[in-house]
Amino acid sequence: MLRRPTRPAPRSGPMTVVTRFAPSPTGSLHIGGARTALFNLLYARHAGGRFLLRIEDTDRERSTAAAVQAIFDGLNWLGVTPDAEPVFQHTRAERHREVVMQLLARGRAYRDYMTVEELEAERERARAEGRAIRSVWRDRTAEPGDNRPHVIRFKGPLQGETVVQDLVKGPVVFRNIELDDLVLLRSDGAPTYNLAVVVDDHDMGVTHVIRGDDHLNNAARQSLIYQALDWPVPAFAHIPLIHGPDGAKLSKRHGAQAVSEFADMGYLPEAMRNYLARLGWGHGDDELFTDEQAIAWFDVADVVKAPARLDWAKLNFVNQQYIRAADDDRLAGMALKVHRDRGVLITRSGEARLRAAVPIVKEGAQTILQLGDLTLFTLKERPVGVDEKTAQLLTEETRARLDRLRIRLAEAADWTPPALEAELRAFAESEGVGLGKIGPALRGCLSGGAPAPDLAGTLTALGRDESLGRLADALSPVG
RNA sequence: GGGCCCUUCGUCUAUCGGUUAGGACACCAGAUUUUCAUUCUGGGAAGAGCGGUUCGACUCCGCUAGGGCCUGCCA
């Protein structure tokens, strides 16, 4: 037995891999769904195949246009975009019905006239007896002309077993008697999910069905439908769900579950891709890697079987690494947006100062929201004022000292971090004190109490005029 | 109730019958230090339990426990 099959049952001819992400548009794009989409994308790319998107909106009642848009937006933001136009399942209802008729003609489906009450009673009996439900209509044909409402059910085999060769779980065996005859067509003529997936996956040429763990049981019944139609059964890979930090199903109380929320919290899409790829999958000791590496290394067969928990601390760490590597202009643009959303006044000069500060402060930011916090000091307009802590530090002695520093800095030849660093040290030495006597107060005067980088960095980001101006404001008797 | 899946440090993972069970995040201690942060060094931390197979099990099998999924004319 192959413990870890890396490819599906052999078929004739060369096969290009086709994967697909098939969400139902009943809400926002969930983080778990996003990862499923990512895995599908990575696997397709890895195999040189194609990645498709299908919106599973057979249930028109519960599907909304807003949810469809949320899925598009989420995938787009994450950078997980399909290789072809998305397929809307509801548009294929005719084809689905056509296949059901084929099944009927082949004797692999039957019309079931059970009323909801009868069904309910049968369900209770079946549960009590510990078996799958069975319709009396399975072996009975209605009188010709019987126009009562009815559903069409799949006629599953009563003997034997069906084995799902799952790429991540290994072979999973189901006894056919345990599998109930699922509804193919509802009484209103609408196709159901289990039928629609099979037909659409087949028609779209999907070779690898990579989806959530919760579909593992369906895989057996779907396999039966493929077989009844004489269609090749695709390879299945059921990946575990993502849980919250406490191991319970991910929910609102864990902070977020929609990818749009992660975007709003200041996570970079490339960081999310990296983190998500590492959740439930690993490649040796590699933690940080490029999309190209992920594609080169990824294989569904290596996906971990157990559910993983979302770890905010690690996500933050990964995001921080990507922020450090990110382009400064891009980061500045994002930081500016954060400030705009927070209602912070942004002047032309303030924006310039912020842009100058980004490369200096970005290493300490774990999220773009934090990058906002760290750049706030640049946007303050004079006089910026001083916080209480700084005010206490501004004794007569310190004020006088800072004023001497101000004069000295005004004449500094070189306004760059290393030069300013040296200047500050030299000044402290000439004053006969340690930098600790000057630094905190100077920082307070320059930043107005907001977080700021090291002094040389702060001075550089602010620029000479602004720095000296802020210092003068703070030292002036009225200020 | 029935069927199915899962179980290595707190978390994410490596290991594929023979390792001092490795790495990362987090945590703790120390160093550096002009706040926070960064950086550097060091540290503690794991195979759910019980049986079996084997010369040898984290790795294979079984049972138990715990967690999860499905059991819809939802997807």
Shortest CA to C1' contact from A130: nucleotide: B2
A176 is a domain residue? no
Q: What is the CATH number of the domain that holds A445?
A: 1.10.10.350
Shortest CA to C1' contact from A62: nucleotide: B74
Q: What is the pLDDT confidence band of residue A183, given thresholds at 50, 70 and 90?
A: very high
Backbone φ and ψ for A477, nearest 5 degrees, come out as -55, -40
User: Which residue out of A169, A249, A252, A337 is catalytically annotated?
Assistant: A252
Closest CA to A200 of A231, A166, A177: A231
Residues A424 and A441 in one domain: yes
Q: What is the pLDDT confidence band of residue A5, given thresholds at 50, 70 and 90?
A: very low
Closest CA to A242 of A21, A33, A73: A33
Point out the domain boundary residue: A345, A379, A413. Answer: A379
Residues A375 and A393 in one domain: no
Tens digit of each residue's pLDDT (9 = 90 or more) over A89-143: 999 999 999 999 999 999 999 999 999 999 999 999 988 888 888 999 998 887 7
**E-strand spans in A417-469?**
none
Point out the domain boundary residue: A317, A346, A379. Answer: A379
Closest CA to A19 of A217, A295, A290: A295
**pLDDT in the model for residue A393:** 87
A368 is a domain residue? yes
Model ipTM? 0.94
Q: Is residue A205 over pLDDT 60?
A: yes
**pLDDT in the model for residue A245:** 77
CA of A380 to C1' of B63 (A): 68
Handedness of CA A187, A90, A101, A214 (dihedral sign): negative
Residues A358 and A403 in one domain: no
Residues A363 and A416 in one domain: no
Task: Decide if A155 is catalytic.
Answer: no
CA of A395 to C1' of B39 (A): 33
Say how many domains are in chain A. Answer: 2
CA of A162 to C1' of B65 (A): 29
CA of A210 to C1' of B47 (A): 29
Listed as ranges, the nucleotides of chain B within 7 A of a protein C-beta are 1-8, 10-14, 16, 22-27, 33-38, 60, 67-75
Q: Is residue A188 over pLDDT 80?
A: yes
A406 is a domain residue? yes
A83 is a domain residue? no
Residues A393 and A372 in one domain: no
Residues A403 and A372 in one domain: no
A120 is a domain residue? no
Tens digit of each residue's pLDDT (9 = 90 or more) over A277-325: 999 999 999 999 999 999 999 999 999 999 999 999 999 999 999 999 9
- Which single residue has its CA nearest the C1' atom of nucleotide B24? A287
Q: Are A150 and A187 in contact (CB under 8 A)?
A: yes
Order of strands across the sheet that contains A109-112:
A109-112, A151-154, A183-185
A202 is a domain residue? no
A349 is a domain residue? yes
Tens digit of each residue's pLDDT (9 = 90 or more) over A39-92: 999 999 999 999 999 999 987 777 899 999 999 999 999 999 999 999 999 999
Q: In the predicted model, what is the mean pLDDT of chain A?
A: 91
**pLDDT in the model for residue A4:** 30
Q: Note down the domain range covering A350.
A: 328-379
A117 is a domain residue? no
How much is the average pLDDT of A431-442? 87
